[in-house]
Structure 1
Amino acid sequence: MRTSRRFPGFLKTASICVLVAGLLSPLTQQAAAAPAAASNDYCGGQCSDILPPGENGNATLAQILLNQAFGTQPSHAEDQLGPYANLAGGYSGLTDSTINNFFNDSSFGVPSDQVASTEKPSGRSDVTIVRDKKTGVPHITGTTRYGTEYGAGYAAAEDRLWLMDVFRHVGRGQLTSFAGGAAANQGLEQEFYRNAPYTEADLQAQIDNAVARNGARGQQALADAHAYLDGINAYIDASDSGRYFPGEYVLTGHKDAITNAGTIDHFKITDLVALASVIGSLFGSGGGGEVSNALSLIAAQSKYGVEEGTKVWESFRERNDPEAVLTVHNGESFPYGTKPDTAQGEALPDPGTVTQEPLVYDRTGSAAGAAAKSTSASAAKTTLSSAHRGMSNALVVSGKYTASGHPIAVFGPQTGYFAPQLLMLQEIQGPGISARGASFAGLSMYVELGRGQDYSWSATTSGQDIIDTYAVELCQDDYHYLYHGTCTAMDKVEQKNAWSPTTADSTPAGSYTMRVWRTKYGPVEYRATVGGTKVAYTTLRSSYLHEADSIIGFQMLNDPGYVKGPQDFQSAAQHINYTFNWFYADSQHTAYYNSGDNPVRAAGVDSEFPVWAQPAYEWQNWDPATNTADYTPASAHPNSIDQDYYISWNNKQAKDYTTASWGDGSVHRGNLLDDRVKKLVAAGGVTRTKLVQAMADAALADLRAEDVLPKLLKVINSSPVTDPTAADAVNKLQAWVDAGAGRTETSAGSKTYADADAIRILDAWWPLLVKAEFEPGLGSDLYTDLTDNLSIDEAPSAGHGPTGSHAGSSFQYGWWSYVDKDIRVVLGENVQGGLAEKYCGGGDLGSCRDTLISTLKTAAGTSASTVYPGDSLCSAGDQWCADSIVQRTLGGIKHYNISWQNRPTFQQVVEYTSHR
């Protein structure tokens, strides 16, 4: 029942419990017989999904107050959190019949005995929203296309209105004015505004251009968007008049709890582009970092000389490492971003001249004080941007190797853990649409990741390089530059934000202005000199001014008349310009396609470094007015049909295909999946249970312990260990490796790790050993610059890692490949694509052993309270809590933390039994 939608926002806390107990929704009266089993569902009851914490992401003021006072939850706010969490302790005993103890049945429709409510939004006769008892997921069925999309918008607002409002303001750089001046809010809007400083005209132009380029599908997408918006706005009006709108509007001062004064602004078409720009920036914009790359290259050349320094830098960059785990592993080559024989047009900065372009100006009040720190990455890590790097995995097995003869897939995106969740579940059935799955809140006119009638699809972030840095030569002053020989003024784009204290945010009043200088080559990010010439470094990405384009690909994926097999799936994915790896499974075939608008660069341009902003080095056929260019053809993107199996955990896609990510080397978290799935395929007879178990087992593995620690211990044990402290630590670490090297509880729910002391030792040892192994040889300057390119560690509790504390996603970024290759050289083992120099003990086994033992002894003596220093949630020394996953609040409702597991946020388990 959707009773949670009708609690008046003005209720006082003292009377909440009585009124909540007696208040029933009008929708309850509408509950009726649900449709019979769907005739268009070919999964045979073998499709499942999960998306914690719960489908209901809206809460009235009364519900927020109850949650804060007593911990009570609105219905369906966290009912998917427990099953999701329990898989970590229950996967070893999993059977096909118990999969849905940990996942939802994602069959189409709702059985009649599971109907919680039936609703016709705004009294419309052409759309019905049925919600099921277990999860409250909306099942939207329309008889007209308009009605279907109207229902999708209405259901989205029912479940995520506040979050959608937050996102449209983030996308416009207006979050602090909307939700308050907290440091986290400042960090968020600053991060996204720098990357997408759009005006209202820019947002509208994206829509106009996307529609114009895509003919009938573009016109349909525009009509769908308007119907979707009509549904959202109808819910806003209904919830306002009925006083059951999200309570955050009261807490942030937009509505008055007593008089109901104030407004919730209607959504408009450009809001959808603002929302899309946030999602695209977070998950689908690979590349950038050319200035940082240049600084570390310069440091390497300063340390070793130009020739050897370049070799050292390239060995750490690992842009095409022969030992890297691959998604397309059949040997097929897809060259992209490879190193040119002779680089052309490079514009490396003069040492010591690089400064980041200021973003924030004219601070007043609270913005002038401590809040000024919000420009750092650490401020934003407390909320949304912690999802920026840790993402997504996929395990897909061809029917040739399964027990049933049908392909099996376990896959999903890792979008981070938030309350409410960024994604929402839905089923949409209407003319030209038939799908169930997850969509980003406010962009749910189509299912973005999920299933159709006889196929499922999912994605992982791919990270290939679609962003380049140009050095524009300045002229006249700091705000004019040479464009094709003409001195041209930069465009100044500004957003002024001011805030006052609210109930939700007690930050004192303040204001500031964000200012971005834009050129035809994109926004200015840094300034420097190159050979003594003053330049501004700009960032140009192919998806800049094109966030709306991908809507066509999603429209196709939802269309049963379009996707009838793997080739159609690949064709649909080609229309998505975000950098994603897309996976597909039906009852007969599997498929893979890497999407994104990969620009065709000028001959000789090395995409790793800044180049001069001159015609000779521009993207081929680049038009600055529309930011369009020539892009590599679909056949040049890594793609495959019916490979024996596919895995992806943000690893390298294929041979010779260079991503923008550092760390695609011999040890990558993708190996955790590849090793397990490869064994299953070799044995044959794979089942849904076995594939889920492989995923879950990898989700609890410590990558360092599984793939690097055995080699470290081999060096240490090359001679008898006589020091008692070191010997005790070695014994504990070896016992942990022998037990499987997982971060697993002693028993389900114990909140205590088996091998807890070994885990503590490795957590303390890893940063010590990396520093001791590499810094003496590299020197402190180069070591520091390389750690700026790639952090040394991303263990679950590593608050210093790219995803921050309590984020779940772990082991994507770290120096494990470097340690692995260097230690194997010391051991005399074969290494392909090794580092250019020897580091641990200078390559001498005895000296390396001394380094490892010395740092191990220090680590063994480091207390748990130092390794796990504690935070607002955890006491110092609480190892389990330090690792635990928190649903980070983006609204007024909080949830309990769960044990660590390194898996997708939204996840599907599918095995289709038949095909149309």
Structure 2
Amino acid sequence: MPRRFPRTTLDRLRTPRRFPKFLKAASICVLIAGLLSPLTQAAAADTSTAAAANDYCGSQCSDILPPGENGNATLAQILLNQAFGTQPDHAEDQLAPYGNLPSGYSTLTDAKINDFFNDASFGVASDQVASTTKPRSDVTIVRDKKTGVPHITGTTRYGTEYGAGYAAAQDRLWLMDVFRHVGRGQLTPFAGGAASNQGLEQEFWRTAPYTEADLQAQIDSATANAGARGTQALADANAYIDGINAYIDASDSGRYFPGEYVLTGHKDSVTNAGTIDHFKLTDLVALASVIGALFGSGGGGEVNNALSLLAAQSKYGVTEGTKLWESFRERNDPEAALTVHNGESFPYATKPDSAQGEALPDAGSVAQEQLVYDRTGSAATSTATSASTTAATTSLTSAKRGMSNALVVSGKYTASGHPIAVFGPQTGYFAPQLLMLQEIQGPGLSARGASFAGLSMYVELGRGQDYSWSATTSGQDIIDTYAVELCQDEYHYLYHGTCTAMDKIEQTNSWKPTTADGTAAGSYRMQVYRTKYGPVEYRATVGGKKVAYTTLRSSFMHEADSIIGFQMLNDPDYVKSPATFQSAVQHINYTFNWFYADSTHTAYYNSGDNPVRATGVDAEFPVWAQAAYEWQGWDPATNTATYTAASAHPNSVDQDYYISWNNKQAKDYTTASWGDGSVHRGNLLEDRVKKLVAAGGVTRSALVKAMADAALADLRAEDVLPDLLKVVNSSTVTDSTAAAAVSKLSSWVTAGAKRTETSSGSHTYANADAIRILDAWWPLLVKAEFQPGLGSDLYTALSNNLPVDESPSAAHGPTGSHAGSSFQYGWWSYVDKDIRAVLGESVQGGLSQKYCGSGSLSACRDALISTLKEAAGKTASDVYPGDDQCSAGDQWCADSIVQRTLGGIKHGKITWQNRPTYQQVVEYTSHR
């Protein structure tokens, strides 16, 4: 059966000519009124010039965020888009410049950067003002002609934040509404019972099953414990909410609210009956819990780690099995690319000399905790829906797997003497985008950049007056798994020797029938049991004792705490140097790598509340829920603990260069991610930037070129394929099929090992046969290389820890198809180390044994040639079987990036590139 593209949050909005029947009753006048842009209806435009704040970038700051700033559309605009492909103003005007970089970067100059990016200078020139809105007398929202980005200027702090909320609702109201319901696990009552909606609400509610009281408690705690800044943050958030609600009221009375409210039955297109619920402060915490789960919550996976360790020990015995497991885990691989590469050590979550308190499950006893009960009705009954349920869930949740990159070069090595940065987060490709752009200028606020929709009271990634900052997902371990021993029954556990009842958190969701996507009316109940050690995730036995495995996350019940750090980043009176930048991001409790550049300095800091573990606790595995193995200083009532000091976090100022692509941060700093070994996609940046720095005279365009070149590279082909070909060519290849394949692969490597079109817009790859062969060969060769030595059970268990492949077209990979992000998670390092060992080359931190051909070069060669012949025989249709976006065999389309619809507007495909979604290019010329 063909692969299905992941279903959207609103499947019924995607297919032209399948509109709900009630729309036929809509009057022509309503549709014509709906065609008017919400921006033009919000307020009359004038031609006043927006006042620019102090800007020290010298017109050398640029950014880009596809598909476009406008993420709202009226009913008529949605219908026209689905029927004829027309786009609302500014809905996709950043998509083409972004998508054109792969064909244009080779001839890029500094003067051409803004052919592919936006000018990110402060303010709007008078002749570029598209509209001016004054939702209050103390705030003005100016939108520019090119992108429609809101430039918010307030004369009071309240007015400024009110304007930020108003602008957010103008651009992302529907998306914000969707995500506040996702965060509460209530998407199906809001948007219908499609399988994708159920998957989303279940996935997020399982990890953050908050009650309304929990959400409010987080607001109270975050603001009460931060002094004057906490008080200001609460006032800012309230003003922001007021602005959102003002837009809801204005768009409702003016009937230019997002059309999805009609399509989901919340509003009537003719009578205007129905309501759009006002936002409240707790909605922001619900939103933050989703974003934190996606991008800033490193760790977990201890039960899966235990299962693969037990599989290794079962096959090889405890000593050799543990040694094998550790070699695959690569906790501190000496060949790994590092962000802090000056040799400085930052020990964290390292392997203890003698592990204490481990609670490994008995073989075959682990079962995931049941979440859903009392289901009635059904999700959409079509084959298309039922086949895509899993993929639908991963379209968002897997986004956390591979996020963001950064290239930062010190002024010592640039042509101008000023630092240069090209950096940004990869938040996936969605329509509308999860992020939105804005400029915000007011008392104590001066910034431009991107923020998550619904959390944009501050710019979260962007620039200030004379500095820029950005982040990548870091993934260090702030989540631990505890084995709580059960007592009395399945719902009581021992806490410090006392039999204690678990807290049962539950909610029932029901939805109405929807004929457009085949969803019947239905309902189900979600149920999570919480302990002092966090929610229950698994049940098992340990040494015959019944236990529940719980997940304790340091940011659990602290989703709002990071607001203080973002407030500081937006405050021009606070951030003035690398030191003050690092101080600001130390207040962010999520796991991110933060980068900074001004006209003189660069800096880096790894954020997150890293708990100090008890002596002897190995963070890789479950431990007993006993006082001796708890986090030091842990208070279960507040879920606070003793955290590692700021100086213990990887940090640096003015290193020659920094690169980050979710790779290892520093020596001895263990992340929760598998795969931080000799071959990682971070190497693609490291190799290119290191070469630029060695030559000196780096320019903005040169650094963009390095990023763009890495974005088109096939990591397997660039860093592993040459050694595979060494083995294959160690003797003359006599088989004609294999020889032809080797010739094509070798030519591709010589040509640069990139996935590029023959010409711009051709939708055909150069070296297409070689790419097809490697895509087919990689999973075959990995299995043939490792499964004979590991055995099928251990091979499967290790593959559950780290997927074998993540090529651009791999719908089976962790990110899914059409998602851009590729080559973060795979067995690249394992193959590299093993093949080099078989070739007799030097390997640091090698695997515990040789696997390919059991270490025999000739036997390894035979295995590679055999699988290469099999791969070469696969047709394009075999390798790229097609989905509801692409015909079988369409290689370019299989790789292509699709903006996954979270509302009613759809966009076209763009060619694949492995690149941040929002991206800045900056070089400051002066400083305050």
1:544 aligns with 2:559: no
Counterpart residue type for residue 33 of structure 1: S
Identity score, percent: 84
Task: Give 2:647's match in structure 1, choosing from 635, 641, 648.
Answer: 635
- Conserved 8 A contact 1:27-1:118: no
Task: Tell me, yes or no, if the aligned pair for 2:633 and 2:641 is still in contact at 8 Å.
Answer: yes
Which consecutive unaligned segments of at least 5 residues does structure 1 have?
1-8
Amino acid at match of 2:783: K
SS in 2 for 1:30: coil
- Which AA in structure 1 matches 2:79? L
Once the two structures are superposed, the pairs formed by residues 880-895 of structure 1 within 5 Å of their partners are: 880-895=892-907
Find the aligned partners of 1:142 and 1:18 in 2 and give their Cα distance: 34
Q: Judging changes above 3 Å, is the alpha-carbon distance between structure 1 residues 502 and 514 closer, same or farther for their aligned structure 2 residues?
A: same
How far the C-alpha of 1:397 sits from its partner, in A, is 0.1
Q: Which residue of 2 aligns with 1:709?
A: 721
Give the aligned partner of residue 168 of structure 2. 156
Paired residues in the alignment total 905
Q: Distance in 1 between matches of 2:157 and 2:532?
A: 40
**What are the residue-to-residue correspondences of 1:573-612 with 2, within 5 Å?**
573-612=585-624
Task: Report if aligned partners of 1:794, 1:813 keep a CA contact under 8 Å in 2.
Answer: yes
Alpha-carbon distance, 1:508 to partner: 1.0
Corresponding residue for 2:197?
Answer: 185
1:168-317 matches, cutoff 5 A:
168-317=180-329
- The within-5 A match list for 1:408-487 is 408-487=420-499
Runs of 4+ in 1 over 6 A off after TM superposition: 13-24, 368-377
2:788 to 757, 771, 776: 776
Find out whether 1:90 has 2:104 as its counterpart.
yes
Equivalent residues in 2 for 1:342-741 (5 A)?
342-366=354-378, 378-381=390-393, 383-502=395-514, 505-741=517-753
Cα 1:117–1:854 change in 2 (3 A) is: same
**What one-letter code is carried by the residue in structure 2 that aligns with 1:491?**
D
Kindly provide the CA deviation profile for residues 374-394 of structure 1, in whole angstroms up to 9, marking residues without a partner as x: 899824346322312121000
Tell whether 2:64 aligns with 1:50: yes
Say whether residues 1:837 and 2:849 are aligned partners.
yes
Is 1:147 equivalent to 2:162 in the alignment?
A: no
Equivalents in 1 of 2:32, 2:609: separation in Å?
57
Maintained 8 Å contact 2:186/2:509? yes
What per-residue deviation string (whole Å, max 9, x for no partner) do you get for residues 582-626 of structure 1? 000000000000000000000000000000000000000100000
Indicate whether 1:33 and 2:45 are aligned.
no
Q: Deviations over 1:218-255 (max 9, x none)?
A: 00000000000000000000000111000000111111
Query: How far apart are the structure 1 equivalents of 2:849 and 2:724?
Result: 18
SS of 2:342 mapped into structure 1: strand
Q: 1:98 to 1:503 in 2, by over 3 A?
A: farther
Q: Is the partner of 1:394 in helix, strand or coil?
A: strand
TM-score (norm 2): 0.96
8 A contact 1:383–1:889 mirrored in 2? no
2:340 alignment partner, SS class = strand
Residue aligning to 1:3: none
Query: What displacement does 1:34 show?
Result: 1.2
* Distance of aligned partners of 1:256 and 1:383 in 2 relative to their CA distance in 1, 3 Å threshold: farther
Q: Deviation at 1:14? A: 6.4
Deviations 1:380-425 (A, max 9, x none): 3463223121210000000000000000000000000000000000
AA aligned to 2:503 is: D
Alpha-carbon distance between aligned partners in 1 of 2:856 and 2:246, rounded to the nearest angstrom? 72
SS class of match (1:468)? strand
Give 3-state SS (helix, strand or coil) of 1:327's partner. Answer: coil
2:418 touches 2:924 (CA, 8 Å); kept in 1? yes
Q: Residue 14 and residue 372 in structure 1: after superposition, are their counterparts in 2 closer, same or farther (change >3 A)?
A: closer
**CA displacement, residues 31-87 of structure 1 (integer Å, 9 cap, x when unaligned):** 212135x35000000000000000000001010000011000000000000000000
**1:597 to 1:704, Cα distance in 2 relative to 1, 3 A:** same
Contact 1:182–1:371 at 8 Å: present in 2 too?
A: no
Look up the equivalent residue of 1:213 and give its one-letter code.
N
Q: What is the deviation of 1:774?
A: 0.2
* Paired AA for residue 442 in structure 2: G
What residue is the counterpart of 1:331 in the other structure?
343
Counterpart position of 1:5? none
User: Does the residue aligned with 1:255 lie in a helix, a strand or coil?
Assistant: coil
2: distance between equivalents of 1:160 and 1:71? Answer: 20
Which residue of structure 2 lines up, in the alignment, with residue 746 of structure 1?
758
Pick from 36, 59, 63: which aligns with 2:73?
59
Which whole-Å CA distance do the structure 2 matches of 1:368 and 1:520 have between them?
38
Separation of aligned partners in 2, 1:698 and 1:430:
39
Q: Which residue of 1 aligns with 2:803?
A: 791
SS of the aligned residue for 2:666 comes to: strand
Shift of 1:212: 1.1
| Aligned mates of 1:16, 1:896 — CA distance in 2 | 28
Check the 8 A contact 1:745/1:753 in 2, yes or no: yes
In the alignment, is residue 809 of structure 1 matched against residue 806 of structure 2? no
Partner of 1:906: 918
Asked if structure 2 preserves the Cα contact closer than 8 Å seen for 1:282 and 1:388, the reply is yes
Q: SS of the counterpart of 2:491? A: strand
Matched residue of 2:345: which SS?
strand
Letter of the structure 1 residue corresponding to residue 87 of structure 2: Q
Cα contact 1:116–1:131 (8 A) shared by 2? yes
Distance 1:451 1:13, change over 3 A: farther
Distance of 2:379 and 2:906 partners within structure 1:
27
Q: Which amino acid aligns with 2:45?
A: Q
The offset of 1:343, in angstroms, is 0.1
What is the CA-CA distance between 1:19 and the residue it aligns to?
6.3
* 2: CA distance, partners of 1:377 / 1:465: 29
- Alpha-carbon distance in 1 for matches of 2:162, 2:843: 58
Q: Is the 8 A contact 2:302 2:621 kept in 1?
A: yes
Quote the RMSD (CA, aligned, Å): 1.7
Q: Distance in 2 between matches of 1:367 and 1:848?
A: 48
**1:371, distance to aligned residue in structure 2 (A):** 11
Asked if the contact 2:471–2:592 (Cα under 8 Å) also holds between the matched residues in 1, the reply is: yes
Displacement of 1:262: 0.7
Give the match's secondary structure for 2:62: strand
Distance 1:22 1:542 in 2: 47
User: Residues 372 and 863 from structure 1, CA distance in 2 versus in 1: closer, same or farther, beyond 3 angstroms?
Assistant: closer
Please state whether the residue corresponding to 1:478 is helix, strand or coil. coil
Q: Deviations over 1:147-166 (max 9, x none)?
A: 00000000000000000000
1:356 partner amino acid: Q
| CA–CA distance in structure 2, aligned partners of residues 404 and 119 of structure 1 | 39
Amino acid at match of 1:861: G
1:628 is displaced (CA, Å) by 0.2
8 A contact 1:315–1:833 mirrored in 2 = yes
Given that 2:154 and 2:442 are in contact with CA atoms closer than 8 Å, whether structure 1 keeps it comes out as: yes
Query: 1: distance between equivalents of 2:791 and 2:163?
Result: 61
| AA at the equivalent of 1:823 | I
Whole-angstrom CA distance in 1 between matches of 2:505 and 2:394: 27
Q: 1:791 deviation in Å?
A: 0.2
Q: Are 2:126 and 1:112 aligned?
A: yes
CA distance in 2 between partners of 1:617 and 1:596 (Å): 21
Deviation at 1:336, TM superposition (A): 0.2
| Amino acid of the structure 1 residue aligned with 2:731 | S
Q: Deviations over 1:270-308 (max 9, x none)?
A: 000000000000000000000000000000000100000
